[in-house]
Amino acid sequence: MNRQIILASASPRRIEIMKNNGIEPIIMPSNADETLPLKITMEQAVMYLAFKKARYIENFLRLNTVNPSIPSVIIAADTIVYKNGIIGKPANKSDAQDTLKLLRNTNHYVATGVAFIDPGTSKRSVFYEVTEVIFKDYSDDEIKNYLDTDEPWDKAGSYAIQGTWGKHICRIIGSYDNVIGFPWEKIKTELENNYPEVLI
């Protein structure tokens, strides 16, 4: 029996990336606590949170015996933007405005951690991808108009690279998918090496 992927995320972008690559995941968003330890790097932060999310779903499956006869693999991810510190999703319009002003006419980094867990076994892995994004200059009015749309509100860094804000991107160094949702090429490699039955 082929394995099923349990995606510990309700992110439309991550779901779309998987479906575009022929995978129909079971969607089980994680409610893991996302508090970070002090003095943690961006790479450590995204791997730490991705693993916590995957472990949360593993524990949920163990306690609720959801489809126990169907082999599965849990994939969880976490993304942050980094510029002079970790930037997550905006808390409000003022927070989003401050973020987009900070990122204007300069570079920043998008880091995504990905965790794989084979439920009920010791088989687990975690890795990260970092992409550098360089923004053009843009006006305060352009920020204001953008914040009147629905795009920024569930996005780390307060923008969607695949949306209307994409016109303000000067350059991307690294994985484009990583900025949209998560690094598909690295995920595909992990599946091919350790869970090839998922891709059959």
78 is catalytic: yes
How many Å apart are CA 60 and CA 54, to the nearest integer?
10
For the chain, the straight-line distance linking the first and the last C-alpha, in angstroms and rounded, comes to 11
Q: Give strand ranges (E) for the chain.
A: 4-7, 26-27, 72-82, 86-87, 107-117, 124-135, 169-173
Catalytic residue among 78, 118, 154, 177: 78
Pairing of strands 86-87, 72-82: antiparallel
So which residues are the catalytic ones? 78
